[in-house]
Amino acid sequence: MKVSAQRRSELIAAAQQARSNAYAPYSKYTVGAALLAESGEVYIGANIENAVYSETICAERSAVFGAASKGERKFSVIAVATENGGAPCGSCRQVMSEFGLDTLVLMVNSEGEVVREATVGELLPMSFGPDDLATS
Ligand code: THU
Instruction: Tell me which residue of 11, 48, 54 sits closest to 31, measured CA to CA.
Output: 48
Q: Which atom of ligand 1 is nearest to the CA of 47?
A: 3
How far apart, in whole angstroms, are the C-alpha atoms of residue 11 and residue 29?
A: 20
Domain residues for the domain of 45 are 5-133
Q: Answer whether 50 contacts ligand 1 (Cβ < 6 A).
A: no
pLDDT in tens, the chain (136 residues): 678 999 999 999 999 999 999 999 999 999 999 999 999 999 999 999 999 999 999 999 999 999 999 999 999 999 999 999 999 999 999 999 999 999 999 999 999 999 999 999 999 999 999 999 997 6
**How many domains are there within the chain?**
1
Distance 39 CA to ligand 1 centre (A): 27
| pTM, to two decimals | 0.97
Q: From the CB of 61, is ligand 1 less than 6 Å away?
A: no
Catalytic (active site) residue 60: yes
Specify the CATH number for the domain of residue 76: 3.40.140.10
Q: Which atom of ligand 1 is nearest to the CA of 56?
A: 12
